[in-house]
Amino acid sequence: MRTISVGIALLFSFSALAQDSYPSKPITMVVPFPPGGVADIVGRPLASLMEKTLKQPTIVVNRAGAGGAVGMAAVAKAAPDGYTILMGLSSISIFPVSDRINGKTPSYEMKDFAPIALITADPTVLVVSADSPWKNLKEFVDSAKAYPGKINYSSSGTYGTLHVSMEMFANAAGIKLFHIPYAGGGPALTALLGGQVHALASGPAPAVAQIKGGKMRALASWSGERLPLMPDVPTFKELGYDAEFYIWSGVFAPAAVPTRVLDTLRAAVREAANSPEFKGAMEKVQTPISYLDAPEFRAFLAKDAARLKVAVEKIGKVEEK
């Protein structure tokens, strides 16, 4: 009996020592989209700055697929040791709902994640090519009504943030658009610039340079009020359409990560997100920081997930093309 007790004591002491020494090796931040989208733009400078606190490399790995669901599921199933974290977007709460709508077993549940911090929250913006015939939203809606299903748009994937926001608008406007999913926000933007699609719901950061460069035109935003970055672009709400949507970015870990390790990660993310260097990096890409620590982020996440559940249920089942 004494031998067993000593063994248990040693086990707990080794476990405590492992936590005390965390991190003792590089940390992987999974970005579940290709380079060029919101998660990538926010994740890379944040990971770089987290290294200062953690004293270990924080390596960004792009693991795209299924609108982000592949990378998110990978983190949900990762070892709960704090060495694999996620830079997720608002679509994280969508996929368990959409899987059930389509008769599938969800690849993860929200309870599989421990929220660490909200980093940014930007509304999507409806953009079209600068040489498109639509100069304003009315012209776009009129065309869509005249030619149902003929105007197409790209997205970061089926049920991803860019798909759900566009369908929110389409439902509010009573129009039907044709959805063409891509592997992420970067490829979706490239498709619009390359003339492969007519429109896109984009985060302001990836789109603003193209808008200023005269390659794209913004018709409306899903914001509650006009964006300081685009004061001439009206919101859907002021134009009479009940469509409001934000692409937020946040850091998550597997749910079973020990509290002491989570606290270390929270401290590293907090210091990085509030640093002058990160603020400068976000200013360069015109992305405002909306930092919330874990408790506040949990409350924000619950409210946002409930709103998106309603939106996804309105979209309903999507047949694979």
Using CA atoms, how far residue 148 sits from 80, 85, 128, 140, 177, in Å, is: 48, 42, 17, 12, 7
Question: Do the beta carbons of residue 38 and residue 279 sit within 8 Å?
Answer: no
Amino acid at 61: V
Collapsing DSSP states into helix, strand and coil, what is residue 248? strand
Say what the pLDDT of residue 10 is.
Answer: 46
Using CA atoms, how far residue 66 sits from 161, 242, 247, 262, 319, in Å, is: 12, 28, 17, 28, 14
Amino acid at 319: E
Instruction: Tell whether pTM > 0.85.
Output: no
All domains of the chain in start order, with CATH = 25-121+248-315 (3.40.190.150), 125-221 (3.40.190.10)
Q: Which residues in the chain come in under a pLDDT of 70?
A: 1-20, 320-321
Say what the pLDDT of residue 18 is.
Answer: 47
Could you read off the pLDDT of 168-212 as tens digits, one per residue?
999 999 999 999 999 888 899 999 999 999 999 998 877 888 999
Between CA 261 and CA 20 the distance in angstroms is 8
R_g over Cα of the chain: 21
Where helices occur in 82-156 by DSSP H, the ranges are: 95-101, 137-146
Q: Would you say the C-alpha torsion 279, 72, 184, 304 has a positive or negative sign?
A: negative
Say what the pLDDT of residue 207 is.
Answer: 81
Using a 10 angstrom Cβ sphere, with 0-12 exposed, 13-18 middle and 19 or more buried, the burial of residue 51 is middle
Which residues face 122 on adjacent strands? 247
Between CA 158 and CA 65 the distance in angstroms is 10
DSSP 235: B
Say what the pLDDT of residue 132 is.
Answer: 97
